[in-house]
Structure 1
Amino acid sequence: MSRTMRSLNSLLGGGVEEEEEEESDGRCGLSYQERIYGFAACLAGGLLCTLLSLLLIFRPIKFAVTFTFGNLLSLASTAFLVGPMRQVNMMFDPARIVASIIFIGSIVIALVCALYIHNRLLTLLAIIIEFCALIWYSLSYIPFARATARKCMGTCFEVEF
């Protein structure tokens, strides 16, 4: 393993001696390099889908499907780094459980509204909720980010949280 890969591995919480334990910690037996490739591929695909969805903004149903698929790929990318079980455990941590449930629920609702109901207004509403839940969920990983966001929103809308 190269020096750069070892440095990256230690930053992600791994170690060379941990390669044998990968199957037991929920990473499906993938090597460190395979996990990085999986992460990069899913993240790039997710970002590409999300950016492409902007071209479909005036076609709400196609926009919803593309945007939601991009979010799912981006979320899956982090499972390559920490393992699927740890990802699920982190998502349902008490600090994130509400945002995770709203995010997953809005993904399901957006896809149902887009693919089965074909209602543009409900699809857009679900996408807005999905986007807000994704932001709130993402902020939970940054120290003091949620408190700062609450303060900014309170200042902007003159509301106390």
Structure 2
Amino acid sequence: MDKLRRVLNGREDNEELGLTAQVLDASTLSYSTRIKWFIICFASGVLCSILGTALLFLPKGLQLFAVFYTLGNIAALASTCFLMGPLKQLKRMFEPTRLIATCVMLLCLVLTLCSVFWWHKKGLAIIFCILQFLAMTWYSISYIPFARDAVIKCFTSCLS
């Protein structure tokens, strides 16, 4: 199929392509491969989060929970790199509409691990995990048009 595509595009031989074009052609993933790896990465992230929650009640469970929950969030976040590519994902993460959510989310990921391994504060680790969840949720709904506005309206109507 690739040969047919090259012939139709007027590029019959790879030798005519420059080194950069050859590398880009070799490193691009097909749409189905991107979807498969997105699902695998996202599912492993969810599995890590669930496993971390299950390990919470074991001795040293809080440390395991914090590590697995944080790894799960990182895997879920990294899964979107398969859909749009890592550079485009990073650019979209730090757009002005997502900047605060991204910074809070990344900061909470780091602070969760710091509170468990360096500060040994269990309560603080739980608070940072909750903040991780909230920041990740706020970040995720930023990709849905008008979802943030709907959530804000819902909360303001509930509070008033």
- TM-score tier after normalising by the smaller chain length: 0.7 to 0.9
Percent identity of paired positions between Structure 1 and Structure 2: 40
Distance in structure 2 (CA, Å) of the matches to 1:21 and 1:51: 41
SS of 1:23's equivalent in the other structure is helix
C-alpha spacing 1:127/1:34, structure 2 compared with 1 (3 Å) = same
1:6 — aligned with what? none
2:24 — aligned with what? 23
1:86 — aligned with what? 88
Q: After superposition, what is the alpha-carbon deviation per residue over 1:113-161, rounded to whole angstroms, capped at 9, x for unaligned?
A: 1222221011111111111111110111111111111111112223xxx
Report 1:39-58 matches (<5 A): 39-58=38-57
Q: Select the structure that is richer in helix.
A: 2
Distance in structure 1 (CA, Å) of the matches to 2:67 and 2:99: 24
Q: After superposition, what is the alpha-carbon deviation per residue over 1:48-72, rounded to whole angstroms, capped at 9, x for unaligned?
A: 1112222134433221111111011
Letter in 2 for 1:86: K
**Structure 1, unaligned stretches of length 5 or more?**
2-16
Which among 105, 108, 113 is matched to residue 111 of structure 1? 113
1:21 Cα deviation (Å)?
A: 9.6
Q: After superposition, what is the alpha-carbon deviation per residue over 1:22-68, rounded to whole angstroms, capped at 9, x for unaligned?
A: 939xxx53333332232121011011111222213443322111111
**TM superposition score normalised by structure 2:** 0.77
Letter in 1 for 2:50: L
**Cα pair 1:22 1:30 within 8 Å, conserved:** no
Distance in structure 1 (CA, Å) of the matches to 2:153 and 2:85: 34
**Cα pair 1:61 1:118 within 8 Å, conserved:** no
Which among 130, 138, 147 is matched to residue 145 of structure 1? 147
Letter in 2 for 1:139: I
SS of 2:43's equivalent in the other structure is helix
Q: After superposition, what is the alpha-carbon deviation per residue over 1:86-136, rounded to whole angstroms, capped at 9, x for unaligned?
A: 000110111101100000010011111122222101111111111111111
SS of 1:117's equivalent in the other structure is coil
SS of 2:144's equivalent in the other structure is coil
2:132 — aligned with what? 130
Distance in structure 1 (CA, Å) of the matches to 2:23 and 2:70: 30
* Residues matched between the structures, number: 138
